[in-house]
Structure 1
């Protein structure tokens, strides 16, 4: 039976049985549930994900994408576009960060190479986008282009019409590029230097292409000039135009690879990853790799839309951070350092903003992909040795973006959850340096650290923007450092210092408004105070969003607010207030503001990261049932497996990781501890196939769209009343069984010992 027929059968049966969830059995080929176009219907003014279809392998060094935007446009693929200009090798983590190491390939049947003139109409109806394969019909050229990726290489298969004017355009982009054609070898080599920052002066992405068809013409071009009979060119913007005489249905295949190290390494990457495999073999290999990774999580008992959303989000988690290392001729792992321009040994990962991803992406790796996590930690050691600093936003080197010193969270969470294989002593040295110094960029080290360490907060009136947000994030980072110091048996003075600093969040709590508020250097709160003002003292949010950023001591925050009842009321207020805002700091409504405003959930701004953990905080006040209801509402309302499927920037897997964790039924509110806070699982069954060979299963047999509340819970057959699950319990394998109901159990999980971890209420 075909997939489509089996899908239809399950759908018809579910409707006829009036099952609310329209339950389906998930097929073996999980890639069929992934929609790489989820989140691509985005603009500068409104983000529905700000994603692009990444045709790649999990965490692969290179991605490929159809390019609809102009060269240099961060919105390189948008769903509403009508034309494709080329198929680009990309390393872009975000349209706001933009791209580097980029060049493109474009088949045409006209004597054109300029990106405007060569562009072609296309339709999503003739487009196939899968993680491991992409195909589209270019109407203006009557050419179908197909791509299949490996980690550092790819194969193109282009089906041409009958024409004596068939060409393949190679565009090495501007800002300094080189191209050379070797017709006798059916080969092109070159490099691109186009980037958006974060690279040394000697940065190059070297590429090599081999064609399976002899050239009938070979020309380079530069700018808008065709350099006839010129086989080599170096200038600001160069490319190649290779001609063929084709028959109808003739396929021309191109094998392409690149390297940040050298042309020779690009050749090696091509031979090693493509070998003599044909297009279909490479496609099947890529599909198998994706299925192997996706099948680590198996879900049952959800609607087709929920299953599709789940695996589309899981795919997004597996794209970043990307590998920046390669394997040399001696089979040694090496990398070009974007920090000092040298070739060095070892792993390196990049294209990640830890301000976003410390919250759920990296905790997901520590749980499901500890070996990957260990390699990333080794890469952090290398980054520190090569640059003198830990990265906070790398693409591929340090970028001046966002705030905090959240690398401490990644490192502590990794070590405290038992992941080894890296130099933790060097990383501890690095986090200590981060806690005492400002870096060469405002996003590296700690901006305002001298004020923070002296006063216990970053003042509002000393010219340091987003000061309150910095204070709150530094305090959390200090908690993770204190935990790491204790685990490493560091001097007691270290532990005590960071334990004390972890309480610095208290310095910004305003008892009058019960909210976090900027404070001046003289100790007085900033005036006037508008809790709806975005930015200013906060980062891409307002006080109603950032007040909850006390991940490590929610009980302390509850105490400041006056107890559980007031705390719950404050949480409720986030959803019941109108979506008013003050955008005067920015001068216009930034897209995050607009995304909050249009979602009809009050001040709840799920489209950005600071508030994403907030719903789980109901558990800390003995009102977990309220979290369960809200979580289902958010999952069902704000996520769809469609081009407009996110409610804001997807951000390197973070918004996706929130969904994947929440759909499984728990969330890492405080990385650096051993606990995940319980929510309301979306499926009737989730099987977590762990790297240690064990399987942990979450069963909710009575689950449906109405039964969102946990009535009772059993862990491995024993009654379990905690509102959290421990990391160690999951790693041992077993079953967490939840009895779901359409009415809340307001008595479950209300005793102090049943609540999640807080510093102020250590168990």
Structure 2
């Protein structure tokens, strides 16, 4: 009997272990340190280990850089100066509304004095939990987040001088210590981009242990008798007497509306939950979102890279709205500083994210993009324009009018239930007017509308890039107008302008080139010159920015064979460059140079879709080859795991789409262009309850080519997939092989959408 019970016990234990081992836990495959080994002159992602929940209002990060340094955390750093609440979308954009919390042993107040050595060997970084040992203070700090709040847990050594410093930073801040309630409140008004009359990030911090001492710091002097301070720079310092191994907990929340709202956010999101309960909820939220896509049959490295990229794609734009005491959705407006009803989002640049990030949200997470569209309605109503870069309001950086694409793609992909008529007015307004700054509306629009291009010689910077992007944006507006059944008299002008790309095509070089006001091409012309007529790229990168009419571009180049040869040239040329427009080598140039992929500059956005254009020339097998090469060479779930700026989920979304086997070359259409899947099996759970099953059982490093495929059991020869058909649920079966099939997808009737061939 004992032997039988023992065997039964072993069987039960093994069964439980097997269940545990096979349970799907994708958040544990994420490495938040992917991309953190970066610096201003070489980006391997320019990321930080973001501790948060998907699209949460706040993120947290250990801070290795000084206050105001956009590179707040770099993997190669040795010391941590604090743990910062952040809203930073990019180091180039920097932060707003930030403050930091730092436990110390001894009264060490300045950033340099309080900084502590740390090691990655004593660091745990997960999306929902972060822990690190601060060696100089003998303190372990743990953090776990909610959307607008977080919990901290400090494990102190034995000391009569254990402290926590709450640094509200400079440029106008306020702190107040309330010892009787074990509480600190305050606000920070620091920001980096734009101009705001009353930006305040209010915060409340509730401790679970009495303060043995307290005081404030004004950036110079410690005032031990003062409990409240409003100044250019403020910090609150609270002291404890601690035993060895004693844990002190702090619950933190913030609000852009008021201190009262910050208190409410703390009550609603944390309440009486323990640290472990908050951590479990955050982990469950991540697993719910990450589990929308399940991948099988890849290497451990590929799986970790996939989910690390998926994690990055689910942060920005982040929520700027809150829930008030009447359970109403409200927000602080960055445009007029009022508290207004409705949703608001911030922290994204459409120049980057219109390409793949927003199409990805429309594909798998349409509910959150519906909220984002509601936010865009409020942007327009409150500010008079749609943002092109928001952080949190209008930011004067990058080019294009790509809000049109973001709006059009959402509606064309089936999103409903928001005020699209207001957005229709907004995209037309943005397309036909110069905005309050160069990066809002259309810079040079008078020339563009009159001549069909923005001239090189009229002191409008990056004119060729603007022309090409405006032409695509006009296409997106035309597509939206058709979907909304707008009359031809209203939308035909956008259809006509969508062909303006032809005005910059230089037959002599077969490339796009700046053009002067008199119609002559800009001279001298170097296709390797970065900047000037182009934006963070050269003519070899921007020539392919004809998303709406690739077939028309191929014809300009002399037909499909020459088009494919031109595509080949991108990879076969050496990575030479002309940086004279910048007066030095910018990091995007260096990242192209060292990648050993010729002129292909995947670390920046303009050329990321170019690999898929072989499908428009009858050579999809070349897309399959280069997509796999880019995924294998340029992405890894390591600190140096990106090949340039990650940019708010865009570069990650490229990888996610490519791993599934298709990519949205032309947002604002119903099509995805085919590549080849990376995994043997992928299951996508759609928001409507349907599923997409992608099978490639023979997939391997060698078998990277598609020999044949079926869609829902029927042979499928086209080089594209329909979004609307996929949303009905689908089964895609790929037969993979080591040798390219040069005939599949080579017929013109199998090519993806182009405007000039649209019947």
Tell me, yes or no, whether TM beats 0.5.
Answer: yes
In structure 1, the gaps of 5 or more residues are 10-24
Quick one: distance in 2 between partners of 1:490 and 1:199? 37
Task: State whether structure 2 residue 182 is matched by structure 1 residue 186.
Answer: yes
Give the aligned partner of residue 154 of structure 1.
Answer: 150
Quick one: distance in 1 between partners of 2:202 and 2:292? 35
For residue 753 of structure 1, report the CA deviation from its aligned partner.
1.8
Give the aligned partner of residue 314 of structure 1.
Answer: 310
Aligned pairs, how many?
744
Give the aligned partner of residue 96 of structure 2.
Answer: 100
For residue 598 of structure 1, report the CA deviation from its aligned partner.
0.4
Residue among 217, 223, 230 paired with 1:221: 217
Give the aligned partner of residue 509 of structure 1.
Answer: 505
Quick one: distance in 1 between partners of 2:636 and 2:483? 41
Give the aligned partner of residue 18 of structure 1.
Answer: none
Quick one: distance in 2 between partners of 1:58 and 1:199? 28
Task: State whether structure 2 residue 695 is matched by structure 1 residue 668.
Answer: no
For residue 241 of structure 1, report the CA deviation from its aligned partner.
0.9
Residue among 197, 205, 209 paired with 1:209: 205
Give the aligned partner of residue 604 of structure 1.
Answer: 600
Residue among 617, 625, 637 paired with 1:641: 637
Give the aligned partner of residue 389 of structure 1.
Answer: 385
Give the aligned partner of residue 285 of structure 2.
Answer: 289
Structure 1 segment 26-425 matched on structure 2, within 5 A: 28-425=24-421
1:523-572 deviation line (CA, Å, top 9, x unaligned): 00000000000000000000000000000100000000000110000000
Alpha-carbon RMSD: 1.3
Give the aligned partner of residue 478 of structure 1.
Answer: 474
3-state SS in 2 of match to 1:531: coil
For residue 495 of structure 1, report the CA deviation from its aligned partner.
2.1
> Deviation above 3 Å: which 4+ runs of structure 1?
none
Quick one: distance in 2 between partners of 1:117 and 1:243? 17
Give the aligned partner of residue 540 of structure 1.
Answer: 536
For residue 186 of structure 1, report the CA deviation from its aligned partner.
0.2
For residue 445 of structure 1, report the CA deviation from its aligned partner.
0.0
Structure 1 segment 352-751 matched on structure 2, within 5 A: 352-751=348-747
Residue among 738, 752, 755 paired with 2:748: 752
Quick one: distance in 1 between partners of 2:755 and 2:107? 68
Quick one: distance in 1 between partners of 2:492 and 2:316? 35
Quick one: distance in 1 between partners of 2:273 and 2:455? 61
For residue 734 of structure 1, report the CA deviation from its aligned partner.
1.9
3-state SS in 1 of match to 2:169: coil
Change in CA separation of 1:754 and 1:700 when aligned onto 2, cut-off 3 Å: same
* Contact 1:169–1:241, Cα closer than 8 Å, also in 2: yes
For residue 491 of structure 1, report the CA deviation from its aligned partner.
2.0
How high is the TM-score relative to the length of structure 1? 0.97
* Contact 1:26–1:299, Cα closer than 8 Å, also in 2: no
For residue 249 of structure 1, report the CA deviation from its aligned partner.
0.5
Give the aligned partner of residue 19 of structure 1.
Answer: none
3-state SS in 1 of match to 2:277: helix
* Contact 1:38–1:646, Cα closer than 8 Å, also in 2: yes
- Of 197-206 and 670-679, more deviation after overlay is shown by 197-206
3-state SS in 1 of match to 2:639: coil
* Contact 1:515–1:544, Cα closer than 8 Å, also in 2: yes
Quick one: distance in 2 between partners of 1:573 and 1:197? 39
3-state SS in 2 of match to 1:318: coil
Quick one: distance in 2 between partners of 1:455 and 1:26? 62
In structure 2, the gaps of 5 or more residues are 1-9
For residue 26 of structure 1, report the CA deviation from its aligned partner.
7.4
Quick one: distance in 2 between partners of 1:588 and 1:304? 40
* Contact 1:26–1:300, Cα closer than 8 Å, also in 2: no
